């Protein structure tokens, strides 16, 4: 199917409207993209331009000094392909890259699968996909949602304790 879409666009010069949640499909098949949120176009452009504009939550991974290569120790610029930052052996990745929002988990390397399984953003993606599937497993959706709720309550509790401690010291 993807070959036929590519052929229609390239050879026949046809405009193809394709909806997908996988950036790799859009990157491979489209010359221009539009991101729609609640019926409104919130971003549009080439795949490279849109990937260059990605911002948001990040995960910082630090490598031990003995495993740091000379190139990663001296690099302090963003990777032009994915926006990953490297500085003195530490890499910063947007959280959405470490989830199944753009790529099927089975296609990810092992280290990325391990992070994605613990990534709350990935849990939200899984809940959303499960809920809109033909046969939603409401039990699994409830368990994942419950896990997110417990995480949210724990974060609020830690924030309150931290803020109260700060107030006492000021």
Per-residue confidence in pLDDT tens, the chain, 170 aa: 778 877 877 787 788 787 887 777 777 778 888 888 778 888 888 888 877 776 655 555 665 655 444 444 344 444 444 444 445 555 556 667 778 887 788 888 888 888 888 888 888 888 888 888 888 999 989 998 999 999 999 999 999 999 998 888 87
pLDDT at 70: 45
pLDDT at 43: 83
Three-state secondary structure of the chain: CHHHHHHHHHCCCCCCCCCCCCHHHHHHHCCCEEEEECCEEEEEECHHHHHHCCCCCEEEEECCHHHCCHHHHHCCCECCCCCCEEECCEEEEEHHHHCCCCCCHHHCCHHHHHHHHCCHHHHHHHHHHHHCCCCCCHHHHHHHHHHHHHHHHHHHHHHHHHHHHHHHHC
pTM > 0.85: yes or no: no
pLDDT at 5: 78
pLDDT at 157: 94
Domain boundaries, given as residue ranges, for the chain:
1-53, 55-98, 104-159
pLDDT at 93: 61
pLDDT at 62: 61
């Amino acid at each position: 199917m993807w070959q036929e879409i590519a052929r229609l666009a390239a050879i026949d010069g046809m405009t193809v409207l394709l909806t997908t949640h996988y950036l790799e499909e859009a990157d491979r098949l489209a010359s221009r993209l539009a991101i729609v949120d609640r019926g409104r176009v919130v971003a549009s452009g080439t795949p490279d331009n849109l990937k260059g504009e990605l911002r948001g939550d990040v995960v910082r991974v630090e490598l031990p000094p003995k495993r740091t290569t000379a190139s990663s120790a001296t690099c302090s610029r963003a990777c032009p392909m994915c926006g990953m930052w490297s500085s003195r052996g530490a890499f910063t990745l947007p959280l959405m890259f470490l989830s199944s929002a753009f790529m099927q988990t089975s296609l990810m390397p092992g280290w990325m699968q391990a992070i994605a399984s613990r990534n709350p953003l990935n849990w939200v993606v899984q809940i959303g996909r499960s809920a809109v599937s033909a046969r939603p497993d409401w039990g699994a959706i409830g368990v994942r949602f419950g896990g997110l709720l417990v995480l949210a309550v724990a974060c609020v509790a830690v924030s309150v304790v931290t803020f109260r401690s700060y107030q006492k010291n000021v």
